[in-house]
Chains A and B, each alone.
Chain A
Amino acid sequence: MKARVHITLKTGVLDPQGRAIQHALGSLGFANVADVRQGKYIELDLQETDQARAREAVDAMCKKLLANTVIENYSVEIGS
């Protein structure tokens, strides 16, 4: 079963990499970009057939390792 995890910075956390991307876009002529925040996308392939159990497991993975909950939020999609 596939799980897709999006990890994003919490509002208020400085994102200089997002800012650098915004400036680069500006240099390329994309002038209408008000803000850019960069996150992470992780795909997991689980040997699990039960959706609820899969979600619980991935949630635990996010809390324990995949996301730093001091500065990051995460969202989980289960199934293809």
Chain B
Amino acid sequence: MKSAIVVFPGSNREQDARAALKQATGRDPAMVWHRDTGLPDVDLILIPGGFSYGDYLRCGAMAAHSPIMREVAARAQKGVAVLGVCNGFQILTETGLLPGVLLRNASLKFVCRNVTLKVENSQTLFTSGYAAGQRLSIPVAHGDGNYFAEPDTLDRLEERGQIAFRYCDGNGETTAAANPNGSIRNIAGIFNETKNVLGLMPHPENAIEPLQGSTDGRPLFDGLVQALS
């Protein structure tokens, strides 16, 4: 599986993503600077976490209009897998590749800790390494991860299996206490309609080796390799 990571000024988790992809694929992903005019021919494009453009105006708003994102959108239309993590998720919603928006955390606090996620749909490229309903321990690190969309959009997402992950407690219950940022319906990540684009606030690339306290992120990348190779 060949992959590329798009790097914006202010991206800061691209090396973590690189390590995760290198571990899973055995090859170094292409690191594409946002001003590059072309994307290499790859199976997966990853938009990493960070504070692209300093979160000026709105998180991900400026990056969404970078010329490279037009190319990413074109690839997504063709069915290439696109994974947006944290700031990457924000960028994908600002481009319209994913519905909804990420607002300031309801608590107004920057939350930086491991959370428990429930896999809502395991029948996709990204989640085939997990079982349906499986609980994962994955770190989050964000101040603006509060997912919001209109009720009819949310209902459509639910009906079409586009909810990827939800925040839950140790028993798999999607409680308010288990929700680190106030996201509506405890939504932590969503797919687009054709399920080749995934955006999520948690960082699976930071749960790939025992030293990080959890390796629950590995099956996401291993599953992608299986599905796309």
Please list the residues of chain B having a beta carbon within 8 angstroms of any beta carbon in chain A: 57-58, 61, 65, 93-94, 99-101, 103-108, 146, 148-150, 182
Contacts and interface: CB of A to CB of B under 8 A. Distances in A.
A70 B94 CA distance: 10
A78 interface: no
Given A13-B148, A14-B148, A14-B182, A65 B65 contact: yes
A68 interface: yes
Given A65-B61, A66-B57, A16 B94 contact: no
**Does more than half of chain B's interface fall in helix, strand or loop, or is it mixed?**
loop
A46 interface: no
Contacts of B58: 68
A71 B148 contact: yes
Interface in A19-68: 20, 64-66, 68
A17 interface: yes
A68 B94 contact: yes
B178 to A, nearest CB: 18
Given A68-B61, A70-B149, 5 more contacts: A13-B103, A14-B148, A16-B105, A70-B101, A71-B101
A73 to B, nearest CB: 14
Contacts of A65: 57, 61, 65
Nearest to A20: B108
Contacts of B93: 70
Contacts of A16: 104-108, 182
